Amino acid sequence: MNEPVYTLEIVTPQGLAYTGRAAHALIPVDHGYVGVLANHAPYLTASSGGRLTIREGTGLVREFTVGDGFFEINENRAVFLTKTCAKTENGPV
């Protein structure tokens, strides 16, 4: 079964830290975490940072530690704007 995917980018002042096709992402926000699937309703929120987990359509899981910033999703395109981003680990599901 092919899961629906959406475009997800992590952008820092230094440039694009990640771009890919996500099936699911767990986004750190000020009040906890938000799970994001394809066709999510438009959403904009602040984030004080933390662990951001992405499961790509291929099943590969990527994890990043992100600094404070903002997250927006609209029409199957999501962007996390942050001051800092470091890759922490990845692997198959």
**What's the residue count for the chain?**
93
CA 69 – CA 67 distance, rounded (Å): 6
pLDDT of residue 72 exceeding 90: yes
Find the Cα–Cα–Cα–Cα dihedral 56, 47, 38, 9, rounded to 10°. Answer: -50
What pairs with residue 65 in β-bridges?
51, 86
What domains does the chain contain, in order, with CATH numbers?
6-92 (2.60.15.10)
CA atoms of 90 and 54, how far apart (whole Å): 9
pLDDT one-digit tens code per residue, 26-64: 999 988 999 999 999 999 999 999 999 999 999 999 999
pLDDT given at position 93? 45
Whole-model pTM over 0.85: yes
Nearest residue to 50 via CA among 15, 86, 1: 86
Distance separating alpha carbons of residues 79 and 29, to the nearest angstrom: 13
15 contact partners, CB below 8 Å, separation of at least 6: none
